[in-house]
Structure 1
């Protein structure tokens, strides 16, 4: 998730400046501090992280101090924030002088005389798909629509689950000279609604081909790739007890510690670890991994994307990575506060901003550059643009706040909140042959394509 900062732009920029100035000091202190021993690591692992409302932080310095405790900031308001933290981290926040209120825990299995359904979603969430259920639905769709939908196993997760790439196109068995668009989902384990977004797209495209003129035209002229689940291990772990563990990372062990997991969306090999936008502590929510692309899931998807570079030209022209929550449309860069930064021209920035705003106008999300929120490094949208020049966006889906369901909205919202992005997806597909068209410069950038 990328939290949405609520408040004036001046306050936001001031906070980001303070973070940029203070974070190197905090990082140096963290690196100098002794690492906890295995017993402390094991105790921390046994604890399910919780969300807390922290009342008091109103300045950039105070928020910077929160980040230094190792928490993740999930929402930011004028004089309060919502964080995900361990008990020890919450205590550290209290010691900074703030009021800390623990928020309700994620849903658990309902009391029952029978054994809870382990490895499944609790009551009120059973319409969400487990990894096996999603795989079965995908296989059924492929069998039903073999002329326009194909499945590839592009690699495996740390625990050996297949990572899939689904291709949608009129001549699905042929690699044609058509613009390609990539949709990815579920980098963060607790963001289950994003898997449903992938399944919605697969069902929508296959069921409407031949009857809906826009869908038909796109499958006739595009190659659409959907990677529905980047983090199946983390997703299955999140629900393994019959409730929710609020798990974010993958399930890859970290050498030299009992801590488990890398934040996949801080592990991509572009500006990795460059700018104090991720953590070096394996126990933290935003741990960036031992090295760039050290997570097997990131390696698999990176190899797949590089494989779409044919004859020196990347075939994928645009992409959306789905997350929850906050209802945002975000574009690169996250590693710098500059509108352009190293590797982006003004025309490229304007193209991102224009398309982002156009898409947000269709789903009611808030459009902004990623770093308008806070600095991140090693994120997929930065990598897709910085490494492969793909116009890549991050969509933070429903809801807008913890109070509306946070990471765990009830399954009753799935149909509405996935269909909510239909028009935005179609707009991206329709511009994929020349994204610069949105700023009226197709003649300058796309002539002869």
Structure 2
């Protein structure tokens, strides 16, 4: 969105008020006895808070109600076993956002091919970049209309995301082939049919270290290095306990803008790649990876120090940059949208088993990219990632697909219920 400085200040005030509303609501909810907790009581508390606290009234009434609904839904997700319990939102770590739950308040108007106008409550008319076709004017009807929007701020500025309600027919079963996918660092996505999807950016620098800024071009990397040195120089003059200067804050903001641009490029590549895979294949099989355990530090303790700490740290950064969990999430809903399905199989042994003879021998994976079967009667060699992808598909065909996470949660809760005779 193209906001004026005054409009930016108003939007920032609403976002901070929404975060403070969430924190006050969380504090009120956790201190109240369980028998007195209810949605109606929380709604009355929010209305009273907006009357008593002047700066909370900056947030529109509908946006305050959206905070309550989001908070209540967060507790429902926790009770269902999907997420952890909601917590306080810190000022500098939380994402600044404001919800506009009613679409009739937006009054969207298209100016020309690139830009449009939208009305934001208590902010005014704002120009925004028109990047997708929206059901506005004659295109809008009961089955195809805008139901609301959400304002989100990142290092690049304020953005608006519209919620659109559409009526779509259920997709028919996908007639495409089955495919196994192995996620890696050198080859982001290796397929069992021999194809692969690469983002065209080297994962490592010429000296062999991981390139954490691979989504930036050469000029942007030079600019980032200059900004980081400038920030370190200006930070050296700050005394302990002293506030950060405006110059240092401006430098930090410029660094964050470059980081946000790189993150957007990575997410754009993931969206394009997952859409292509979901359209081409009917059954998609991936490994169930324990990513938090994979990126644990190898530093160890003082008594038992770790080995190859620097190498493991670089590998952890590379794994985090690839965002394998987000890729699986995209494949899950995009496959369902096109009539396909995504399945998960156990990960242990997929990189050590030979996909040709089926033998698992230690040391078969000689390097990150080469697999050589140690079985004397086989001796097959090939790309290690493609070999792992074929093993992933083999596990699915042999009936080793795992139960989805929601299904496992239901099974665990069912096992806790005591038989009727024991009650």
TM-score by length of 1: 0.23
Tell me which of the two structures has the higher relative contact order, counting C-alpha pairs closer than 8 angstroms and 6 or more residues apart. Answer: 1
Bigger Rg over Cα:
2
Higher fraction of helix: 2
